[in-house]
Amino acid sequence: MLSFDNATAMLAPIAVAIPIVMACVLLVAGRRLPRLAVDVVALATALAMVSLLAYLLVAAASGRIVTWAAGWTPHHGYSVGIVLVVDPLGAGIALLACSLTAIAFLFSVRYLDAVEAHYHCLMLLFLAGMVGLALTGDLFDMFVFFELMGAAAYGLTAIVVEDESALQGGINFGIVNSLGAYLSLTGLGLLFARTGSVGLPQLHTELAHHRPDALIVAAFVLVLTGFLVKGAMVPFHFWLADAHAVAPAPVCLLFSGVMVPLGIYAAFRIYWTVFAPVLPLGDVRRTFLVLGAVTAVLGAVMALSQRHFKRLLAYSTIAHVGLFLVALACLSVGGTAGALIYVAGHAGVKGALFLIAGVMLARYGSVDEYDLYGAGNGQKAMGVLLIIGALGLAGLPPFGTALGKALSEDAASAAGYGWVPVLFVAVSALTGGAVLRVAGRVYFALGPMPVERSPMRARGNEDEEPRLLHVPWTMIAPILVLLAGGLIVGLLPGAHSVANRAAATFIDSAGYSHQALYKLPEGIVAPTASNWTGVGLGLGFVSAVLACCVALAGLYGRRLAEKWPVLREAYGPLNLLHRLHSGHVGDYVAWMMMGLAVLAGFIGLPLR
């Protein structure tokens, strides 16, 4: 369906404008209206966005929707305007953003102090930034919406100013992500110098007949860095644990569920449309396979050794981001489809886990695993939900995470990387096991009482709400919805073929460019989609069982350490790793520079 001029095409920029307008309305009216009215208006806006983007997704399924904003349609393949290209994957991730925002609004009704509707306005502006980033097809526009997301996110992280750790997390987040964004802008400048355009379709056309040289490699490294900082790839990941540990739970839901995957999405969108014709496939694949694997392992190991539950979940997000990277690094339709489904399933499961952490904080005033030993003894139902979430994180079929893993493992094995399934199983078992261990300690009082209980509670926004005696339905329903969502992604019969088609459209960069510039219809032939395989199902069950073993080892492990002193040898490197995550912004910037050099080496040295 060619949609240059018709009404559906108009919906894409309107989807960006609506949250901005409603944020302004709430800002003016918020002081007069009662809190409930503000919540209802915000929730209604988010639900309206959900339906708008669902419509766009369905419309995009039959072909990309191209909109040249302000009517500057291209002549002879050139235009001065900004293009919005809605393809199924972009619309899908924007829909995910709107859904999670709606769920976060529902959870926030009884959860935090809204500061005169400022919280709701910031969330709506955050949503506008996310939708804009997902739908736009212009590199400078991506930078602008990326900064909009950032500005709102820094504020949402530090919103509880009484908590000093929230402020430190907020400023670390702010400085590191802003520096990344400015590096991206530098890369954009280099691309503009070479090609004279900043739109993705035009960049594709211009770069397609160039040989890769130092300028293009530098532009690639710099442009992707900003988005990979947001996407928390090692060694750009340090800010994530700080920000997630201190931000309010509904905000963490958005961060882990969709903001971090958006960074990865943007990086790969830019790679496919601009750099895929120019840079050698093998070099890029190797770069992201290695860096993704390192990210996954580091995240899993750090998660396992945390006692602050939200920080544990943050590191598990890093671990799963590493797995997304490995899946996307296969640079194939199957890998991208697997990553897409994995992101959707992970958003549901991880979001539910963060909201449960929020309930723990509201109920018990802490999220420290050792301090809360046995604290949840009367609320076994919440413990069961936590266990279900943990098993979803570990990749138990039929969760969406399991389907995503199965598809990704399939794609990686087909590409010849047999170690990838092992990595996937190990990382998901470790992260799922860590959460299971927390569930066991807090809600079922398993294992011996930990001796290192600290008088100083783990910081986690203690002032978000005075102790809740009875968890309201506005806090339980979102958890159930998210877990159900994670399940549905895996159970839905058409999910794998939709994802496959979305992935094929995503990878087809020539089609993206030609359709945007010349109105040519697309002729995408998606390869046959793989679905649940026997191997995939089996590996999923294996991960879940391994996760239980990891949890039991964590709960009863003291005796293991006594039996096998060799385990103590691991403490040295582990402590070193913990010391590296120091909370000091200077360290983070130093590692960012190192990361730039590593990327430059991976891509540049083979081309020398």
Partner 1 sequence: MTRTVRYVVFGLGATGIGLLGVFAILKIPAFGASSHPYRDASIPAAVKHATSNVISSINFDQRGLDTLGEESIFLASVLVISVILRPAGHETERRELSEGRPLDSTVLGGLVFLPIVLIIGLDVITHGHLTPGGGFQGGVILGTGIHLLYVAGTYRMFEKVRPVRPFEWTEAIAAGAFACLGISGVLVGASFLANVVPQGVFGDLFSAGTVPLLNGVVGVEVASGVVVLISKFLEQALTVRSDSGNPQGNGHTSRETKTPDGQHP
Partner 2 sequence: MSHYAYFVAGWLILIGAFGIMRSKNLIQSVVCLAVAQSGTYVLLLSIGYQWGGAPPLFGEPATKPNLHVVDPLVQAMTLTDIVVSATVTSMLLAIAIQIHKRHGTINPDELNAIRG
CA 483 – CA 477 distance, rounded (Å) = 10
CA 98 – CA 548 distance, rounded (Å) = 34
Distances (CA, A) of 337 to 341, 395, 404: 6, 17, 8
Residue 186 engages partner 2 in binding (rule: CB under 8 A): yes
Instruction: Give the x/- contact pattern for partner 2 in 189-228, rule: CB under 8 A.
Output: xx-xx----x------------------------------
CA 241 – CA 244 distance, rounded (Å) = 5
CA 270 – CA 265 distance, rounded (Å) = 9
Instruction: Give the x/- contact pattern for partner 1 in 422-461, rule: CB under 8 A.
Output: ----------------------------------------
CA 556 – CA 553 distance, rounded (Å) = 5
Residue 155 engages partner 2 in binding (rule: CB under 8 A): yes
Of 222, 161, 166, 158, give the one whose Cα is nearest residue 190: 222
CA 511 – CA 517 distance, rounded (Å) = 10
Question: Which range, of 154-162, 327-335, 505-513, 564-572, touches partner 2 by CB under 8 A?
Answer: 154-162
Q: Rule CB under 8 A: which of 292-331 touch partner 2?
A: 306, 308, 311
Nearer to partner 1, 171 or 476 (CB): 171
Q: ∠ CA(359), CA(361), CA(364), 5° rounding?
A: 100
Give the residue, chosen from 468, 581, 600, 607, that forms a contact with partner 2 under the rule CB under 8 A. Answer: 581
- CA dihedral for 164, 167, 171, 177, sign (positive or negative): positive
- CA dihedral for 129, 130, 131, 136, sign (positive or negative): positive
Residue 14 engages partner 1 in binding (rule: CB under 8 A): yes
Give the residue, chosen from 107, 145, 227, 288, that forms a contact with partner 1 under the rule CB under 8 A. Answer: 145
CA 291 – CA 328 distance, rounded (Å) = 12
Q: Rule CB under 8 A: which of 365-394 touch partner 2?
A: none
- Report whether 515 contacts 66 (CB < 8 A): yes
Q: How many residues bind partner 1 (CB under 8 A)?
A: 80
Task: Give the SS3 label for residue 86.
Answer: strand
141 interface partner picked from partner 1, partner 2, none, CB below 5 to 8 A per type: partner 1
Least distance in angstroms from the C-beta of 289 to partner 2: 28
Least distance in angstroms from the C-beta of 572 to partner 1: 16
Least distance in angstroms from the C-beta of 402 to partner 1: 38
How does DSSP classify residue 415? T
Task: Count the Cβ atoms, other than its own, within 10 Å of residue 79.
Answer: 18
How does DSSP classify residue 78? B
Nearer to partner 2, 56 or 245 (CB): 245
Question: Which range, of 65-73, 382-390, 443-451, 536-544, touches partner 1 by CB under 8 A?
Answer: 65-73
Give the residue, chosen from 15, 246, 251, 340, that forms a contact with partner 2 under the rule CB under 8 A. Answer: 246
Rg (CA), the chain: 23
Give the residue, chosen from 45, 177, 184, 197, that forms a contact with partner 1 under the rule CB under 8 A. Answer: 197
Q: Rule CB under 8 A: which of 69-98 touch partner 1?
A: 69-72, 78-82, 84
Residue 144 engages partner 2 in binding (rule: CB under 8 A): yes
**Residue 488, burial from CB neighbour count under 10 angstroms (0-12, 13-18, 19+):** middle
Three-class DSSP labels, 343-360 = HHHHHHHHHHHHHHHHHH
Helices 88-108 and 333-364: angle between axes, nearest 10 degrees? 10
Residue 196 engages partner 1 in binding (rule: CB under 8 A): yes
Least distance in angstroms from the C-beta of 142 to partner 2: 13
Instruction: Give the x/- contact pattern for partner 1 in 214-233, rule: CB under 8 A.
Output: xx-xxx-x------------
Task: Give the SS3 label for residue 85.
Answer: strand
283 interface partner picked from partner 2, partner 1, none, CB below 5 to 8 A per type: none
Of 247, 317, 229, 259, give the one whose Cα is nearest residue 94: 259
Residue 594 engages partner 1 in binding (rule: CB under 8 A): yes
Nearer to partner 2, 199 or 389 (CB): 199
Q: Give the tokens for residue 523.
A: 């002729």
Nearer to partner 2, 174 or 490 (CB): 174
Give the residue, chosen from 493, 565, 572, 586, that forms a contact with partner 2 under the rule CB under 8 A. Answer: 586
Q: ∠ CA(346), CA(354), CA(389), 5° rounding?
A: 55
Q: To which H or E segment does residue 445 belong?
A: none
Least distance in angstroms from the C-beta of 242 to partner 2: 5
24 interface partner picked from partner 1, partner 2, none, CB below 5 to 8 A per type: partner 1
Q: Rule CB under 8 A: which of 469-488 touch partner 2?
A: none
Residue 518 engages partner 1 in binding (rule: CB under 8 A): no
Residue 154 engages partner 2 in binding (rule: CB under 8 A): yes
Q: Phi and psi for 44 in degrees, rounded to 5?
A: -65, -40
Residue 242 engages partner 2 in binding (rule: CB under 8 A): yes
Provide the b/e sequence for 590-599 (b: ≥16 CB within 10 Å): ebbeebbebb
Question: Which range, of 48-56, 143-151, 271-279, 421-429, touches partner 2 by CB under 8 A?
Answer: 143-151
Nearer to partner 1, 148 or 361 (CB): 148
Residue 171 engages partner 2 in binding (rule: CB under 8 A): yes
Q: Give the tokens for residue 563.
A: 């039996």
Question: Does residue 466 have a cis peptide bond before it, meaning omega lies within 30 degrees of 0?
Answer: no
Residues lying near partner 2 in the complex (CB under 8 A) are found at 140, 144, 147, 150-151, 154-155, 158, 161-162, 164-165, 167-171, 174-175, 178-179, 182-183, 185-186, 189-190, 192-193, 198, 241-242, 245-246, 306, 308, 311, 459, 578, 581-586, 589-590, 592-593
